[in-house]
Structure 1
């Protein structure tokens, strides 16, 4: 008990000394961060500048935030020109000029912002002297002015350019002029080329190309832009370094067999989106020893023609026992009525079956495709679901008696896939070997599941659950301490935050979960 003023002063002095000691301990904890070499911090800042935000623009805000933490970090950021060279097309003129000033002579990356914005703000960057600094370009072309800007760019020297993506929005004012933009694009000595609704100069060299995406919209029906299988093979002969190939609505129906054989020693990813089953013959003419992922999407409305014709693809691709390099074969049914994707991993065990449903997924097509799967039983089953009722997936469990791990990703509550009617779970919870469940309910968003209390009660009573579930992993799911304690008594619990649902690749290599 402090009795006198001196006692109070002494106690204050003692507490101030203790506070200084604690602050010293805190500073020691931060010492490792504060002592990071500038070279390491600049690399971290550069990595942040290349991250994409959820709205497709580059995550330039992270660099701004990092430059405002302290004076030391700001000096490092301002002395790292590379992190300021990422410019989005929807930036303000003031901000864009500031980035150009801070980037000095570093390579420039132009990224599209809003899907339908024009090149008005970044038009100046598509002309000298900036063309010699351009490293990556991703632009929309929707007006005559846009066409002029991009044409001027492709006619200028671009020694650093490694990635070019052009998306044409057809309109009466530009369709005739922009039709052959892709011809000029292939003259650049680039490594990554994405062309949307643009044709390609088939006689141009592709010697350095590593990734090629050619995508025509369903309503872009100019016959002169399409390829036959034979013509595609001729084009691919000029791409010895190609690693990733994505063709969407590019090939015409072609029943004429080709004797041309193309060797693509470095190709790892091949995606074909088509409405013509005859296009599958291309697999007979391609030698792809490094292939890890094949994706075939059928975009015909209704019962797609590829469902009945997918067996030849399995016949062409060697079985997993003799070719363990094949990591995934993806077969899909996409369209206005049906939207589902089946991914089959035929690599070394555990064999994985991965199914993605859209808002109108129809399991009947998936089951038809399962008839042609390799005979080995999958051990891991992954489901990615939109607004899909469990009615679509009840028929799936019959051949999956060997599944011991279930991954569920959903746009709403992942547990709805396990049972959207009270006390009537799906057959997934009766799989005889199922021991581990991973639930991912949202796209990287922390989520409080309204189904977990009911699921816990079902686990506790073992009612309607015959599967020997031992482990439950919750991704981006928040539980109260009481809920966490109750669940932990029934199964081994694991939590993870910050993980997003996996998506099918669109042109580049497929990112696994």
Structure 2
């Protein structure tokens, strides 16, 4: 005899009886799950078209995602909790490749691989931080850190990277630098930050090569922090934002004011310019450095300078900025003499 209603036949062995009950419970649970899913379709938010719901998810995954309550706010991927709410939300999230294109490279290689697969051919916005003690220990020991493996995987998709931000404590591993040599036709924003000064200029040849590839014509936003660059042979006419900052008292990566002026004079589309402790300290703090280049920046509206007094005067005297609407100037406190008069900016 078979199970009927709430009773089971005593003729069945106990294991088979338990299995029959468990199967029946599973059927009821699946039915309840299905009913709940159907009920969820009547919720006001479920009436939204998938395109609108995807836009809501995109906003949640943006910078405002860090305002989420703990524990989700403790992770760059805390917003993923939205894909666990219900089946419909998960299907919408998985059907939105752009939602998975914002990559904060972690030590989880498999997780990075999964995100790349979900992003399909969507633009990638990559952030990686190599300052963790664990990663540095592996590099010093001659090994390859999990984060390096994950970044190598991401940079293998360099052709669809729109934004790349790399922060490191010390020198870049050669393996990572080589990954920057590939074409980057979609790159619009590049930030390279080194908390300690790089050891020798040759380490930055890969970055210079990336900036000047024929395919890298969409680059508009560039930030270099304590990074050596060949400014005497730099040509980036399409930039709209440039930030250069260095550690004070590290002359090896500083640039002469005349060289800097010659480089930015080619950036006619520049709208924002930030120079902080990036120029070579003058030999005489009572003398403004000589410069022959007059840099005309017709679109510049924001200027921030933080350097020695002579260097600051030199730059301001050789910049033509007819549309400037915001300026911030900070000079060192060691200057005692009179370097001359700063020309009035138009």
TM-score, scaled relative to structure 1: 0.48
> Match of 2:303?
270
Q: Taking structure 1 as reference, are residues 48 and 290 closer, same or farther at Cα in structure 2, changes over 3 Å only?
A: farther
C-alpha change, 1:184 and 1:200, in structure 2 (3 Å) is: same
1:205-258, CA deviations, whole angstroms, 9 ceiling, x for partnerless residues? 212211111111124331xx3223222221112111111111111123362443
* 1:196 partnered with 2:225: yes
The unaligned stretches of length 5 or more in structure 2 are 1-39, 137-146
Return the alpha-carbon distance in structure 1 between the equivalents of residues 308 and 74 of structure 2.
32
Would you say the 8 A contact 1:244–1:269 is kept in 2? yes
Residue by residue, what CA displacement relative to the aligned partner does 1:402-432 show, whole Å, maximum 9, x if unpaired? xxxxxxxxxxxxxxxxxxxxxxxxxxxxxxx
RMSD: 3.4
How many pairs align? 280
Q: Return closer, same or farther for 1:111/1:127 CA change in 2, 3 Å cut-off.
A: closer
Query: More deviation in 275-284 or 76-85?
Result: 275-284
Q: Does 1:228 align with 2:256?
A: yes
Equivalences for residues 394-409 of structure 1 within 5 A? none
Q: Aligned partners of 1:250 and 1:261: how far apart in 2? A: 19
In structure 2, do the counterparts of structure 1 residues 293 and 163 end up closer, same or farther at CA, with 3 Å as the change threshold?
same
The one of the two structures with greater contact order (alpha-carbon pairs below 8 A, sep at least 6) is 2
Local SS of the residue matching 1:65: helix
The one-character-per-residue Cα deviations of 1:420-455 (angstroms, maximum 9, x if unpaired) are xxxxxxxxxxxxxxxxxxxxxxxxxxxxxxxxxxxx
Tell me if structure 1 keeps the 8 A contact 2:204–2:229.
Answer: no
How far 1:123 moved relative to its partner? 3.0
Distance verdict in 2 for CA 1:57–1:165, change over 3 Å: farther
| Structural mapping, 1:74-473, within 5 Å | 74-113=90-129, 115-116=131-132, 119-125=147-153, 127-128=155-156, 130-141=157-168, 146-153=173-180, 155-170=181-196, 175=200, 177-187=202-212, 188-189=216-217, 190-202=219-231, 203-222=233-252, 225-252=253-280, 253=282, 255-298=288-331, 300=332, 303-305=333-335, 312=341, 316-317=344-345
Provide the rounded CA distance (Å) in 1 between the counterparts of 2:248 and 2:73: 23
User: Does the 8 Å contact 1:50/1:59 carry over to 2?
Assistant: no
TM-score for both structures, normalised by structure 2: 0.69
State yes or no: 1:36 paired with 2:52.
no
CA contact (8 A) 1:139 1:165 kept: yes
Closer, same or farther: CA 287–171 of 1 in aligned 2, 3 Å: closer
| Distance across 1 between alignment mates of 2:73 and 2:128 | 8
Looking at structure 2, the residues matched to 240 and 251 of structure 1 have their Cα atoms a distance apart, in angstroms, of 21
Contact 1:126 1:149 in 2 (8 A): no
SS at match of 1:213: strand
Extract unaligned runs of 5+ from structure 1. 1-26, 319-513
Residue 289 of structure 1 deviates from its aligned partner by 2.5
> Helix, strand or coil for the counterpart of 1:194?
strand
Partner of 1:331: none
Name the CA distance, whole Å, in 2 between partners of 1:148 and 1:281: 40
What is the distance in 2 between the residues matched to 1:285 and 1:241?
17
Q: How much has 1:277 moved relative to structure 2?
A: 3.6
The structure that is helix-richer by fraction is 2
Task: Give SS of 1:200's match.
Answer: coil
1:260-319: CA deviations, max 9, x gaps? Answer: 322212212211111334422322222222322211123x3xx4539x979955x6146x
